Structure 1
Amino acid sequence: MPTKKHYLVFGAGAIGTTLAAWLNSSGVRVSIFDKPEACVHINQHGLEVYFGDQPKKRYRSWVQAYSNFNSILAPDVIILCVKNYSLEAVSKLLVANFGSTIPIVALQNGVENQNILPKYFDKIVYGVVCYNAWVDGFGVVGYQKKGPIALGYIDNVIDADLSGIVEDFNRGVETKNYPSLNDAAHSKIVINLTNSLTTLVALHKNDQANSKRFQILITSMIFEGVQVMKAAGYKESKLGGMPSWLLIAAASVLPGFITRKAYLKNLKKMVVSSMAQDIIVNGGNTSELESINGYVLSLANAYDVKTPVNSAIYQICKSEFVKSPFKPVTVDYIWKQVKRHKILAG
């Protein structure tokens, strides 16, 4: 039986496409908004999603796509699936067309949305997406696993609106009402730190399974991130199979050959990240570098936590991501820059 609420997914990227397809297939009333060329393709061919490395086994879902606000059936809830760097412009657009009282479900990486969205909307449900997905083309998206998604208010309030949204989401994808949402968001940020490194080396094209230096860099970035979050008072969240902070700490001190099996297992999970999608696939120079890596470094500075590996890789990204076209750098180059940064930092 179809849901009473009509959901508008704003943004037909990896998360927006998978979510719209899953919700639609389970009887949730959903439509999608994106640029005209994407909508033409979606309305002609539907949304196509596939699991893992099986692009030929696609599931097709027919979801109405709009590129013009005048033709949209007024939604009851907007699911915001655009990046943080687009939020200001998109929020102004949505307020102009639907007002500030419409409920928003915000599915961005990081916590920058917590500073932007309250300026425009009265009721915001924040979400942490705990699965990887990537775009092959208009309306065509692969995903690594189906969910979960954590939803909640920042002030830990639970009301009928939130419960209803969680119930509707659960029809299509595992979704949890998560009281400690800020802890979950910051745990996810720690994992997202490595998107910068995997983008620098274009991991989806250049296998690094045999590189011991790459393993050390990945492990060090995550460990530094955990130290920052602990200092800032955030607690660990194991939502969605995130590696435990105890395991991360162990990996930072144990010999590489002991942790290698677990590392290689996690390395296989690192598909095309949202940052690589922006910089490499789309050929742009705008990414989530500031809202993820820059944010963690600002916390590190505030709480006096040393982050030499993250600091060095952040500087390399700032230098390399503005180049057009972007060209991947080698692990050896990154390694030398990290060593140099450690020396300069004392």
Structure 2
Amino acid sequence: MAFSRRQVNILCADCSSMRVQIMGAGALGSLVGALMQLSGFDVIFVARGKQLSALKNRLRVSGLIEAELDVHAVAKPENADITFVTVKAYDTEEAAKKLAEVDPGIVCSLQNGVGNEEILQKYCDKVLGGVTSYAANLADYGHVVYAGEGLTYVGELDGRMSDEAFKVAEALRRAGIKAEAVSDIQFRIWAKAVVNAAINPITALCKVRNGMVVENDNLWKVARSVAEEGRKVMLKMGYDFDAVSEIKRVAEMTAKNRSSMLQDVEKGKRTEIDFINGAIVEKGREMGIDCPVNETLLHLIKGIERG
């Protein structure tokens, strides 16, 4: 069912009447869910393992805000009005299959990497793309650190400005999250992937915080090469993106942060490299563009994963 923009505002006026689901209540998912619950939304946290067990007791938020919440934590998704997908990219298909067993409402990905939305579309009726620069880290199971405020964009993959996109953006804003419905979400997804392709694997391989990517001349030379390859691929796709400047800006803005890929490598966990550098290499191959630096980083990280 489609809603006019005026109806969207009316629907969002009573947050408690809207069920919001977090599919993958890790660091980012827990933060988004906590902010929405604190704003009065009825929130479902879908998690697994030790995180699920911890959430059944309580969710603690520290950092930019301090809060402790009793949350509705479950192992399987339920019916909802909006479902935010925040699982790791390599878990998207499994999550999508589980969502297909219920009515998840509007499904909006807030994941890293390229291709998540297309996977979700195979199983879910209404899927929006999304990107966010909000920073969250898991200090422990059931304890998320709100490390940085950012911007969140949501939109239709075909570029339409839909009522569903406005509805999701408005719900996020009512939770105090800076959000906007946009017509160029595909561009933003690829732009974020190119930025992550430079920062994440370099920090993971060298075990350094984000700022070192620009502070260390040797690392910056590698990052610039990654950026140039990504820029060429995006230009071939019809997107004019100043990758070098944006990577420098993000690395400086998040200088003290430790990338999610670095954290995954340190924990011996699988990374999202296939959906970031791997996606750039694959798209470049389709378009006849060689991406040797991205491919090298891809194989180095996968080498670490295989131990």
> How does the TM-score come out when normalised to structure 2?
0.84
Q: Over residues 90-111 of structure 1, what are the superposed CA-to-partner deviations in whole Å (9 max), with x where a residue is unaligned?
A: 2222222x14x73211111122
CA 1:226/1:310 → structure 2, altered by over 3 Å: closer, same or farther? same
2:38 aligned partner: 25
Whether 2:54 is the aligned partner of 1:41: answer yes
- Change in 2 beyond 3 A, CA 1:166/1:3: farther
Structure-2 residue corresponding to 1:188: 192
The one-letter code sitting in structure 1 at the alignment partner of 2:206 is: V
Question: Measured at CA, do residues 245 and 209 of structure 1 come closer, stay the same or move farther in structure 2, by a change above 3 Å?
Answer: closer
Instruction: Find the counterpart in structure 2 of residue 199 from structure 1.
Output: 204
1:59 aligns to what? 66
2:19 and 2:81 in contact (8 A); partners too: yes
Determine if the alignment matches structure 1 residue 293 to structure 2 residue 277: yes
Question: Residues 263 and 30 (structure 1 numbering): CA distance in 2 closer, same or farther, change over 3 Å?
Answer: closer
Given the alignment of the two structures, is residue 129 of structure 1 paired with residue 132 of structure 2, yes or no?
yes
Residue in structure 2 matching 1:6, options 14, 19, 28: 19
- Contact kept, 8 Å, 2:261 with 2:271, in 1: the verdict is yes
> Equivalents in 2 of 1:119, 1:145: separation in Å?
33
* Post-superposition offset of 1:210: 6.0
- How far residue 205 of structure 1 moved from its aligned partner, in angstroms, is 11
Q: Are positions 1:234 and 2:227 aligned together?
A: no
CA contact (8 A) 1:147 1:175 kept: no
* Residue 7 of structure 1: how far off its partner (Å): 0.4
Which of the residues 245, 248, 266 maps onto 1:247? 245
Instruction: Show the counterpart of 1:320.
Output: 304
Contact preservation (8 Å) 1:200, 1:317: yes
Q: Does 1:102 align with 2:101?
A: no
Unaligned runs of 5+ in 1: 52-57, 237-243, 252-261, 324-346
Higher mean C-alpha deviation, range 37-46 or range 119-128: 37-46
- The question of 1:216 aligning with 2:214 is answered no
The letter for the 2-side match of 1:189 is: A
Whole-angstrom distance in 2 between the partners of 1:190 and 1:205: 15
Correspondences of 1:100-179 after superposition (within 5 Å): 102-172=105-175, 173-179=177-183
Partners of 2:179 and 2:188 lie apart in 1 by 13
- In structure 1, the residue matched to 2:9 is none
Aligned length: 292
Measured in 2, the distance between the counterparts of 1:67 and 1:29 equals 14
The Cα offsets for residues 299-323 of structure 1, whole Å up to 9 and x where unpaired, read as 2222233433222222222222211
* CA distance in 1: counterparts of 2:100 and 2:122, whole angstroms: 11
SS of 1:151's equivalent? strand
Q: Deviations over 1:258-299 (max 9, x none)?
A: xxxx79735615x22222232223x22x22111111110112
Larger Rg: 1
The answer on whether the counterparts of 1:232 and 1:299 sit within 8 Å (CA) in structure 2 is no
Are residues 1:268 and 2:281 paired? no
Is the contact made by 2:20 and 2:82 (CA closer than 8 Å) also made in structure 1? yes
Partner of 1:31: helix, strand, or coil?
strand
**Identical counterparts, % of pairs:** 23
The more displaced of 84-93 and 138-147 is 138-147
Seen in structure 2, the aligned counterparts of structure 1 residues 160 and 138 have a Cα distance that, compared at 3 Å, is: same
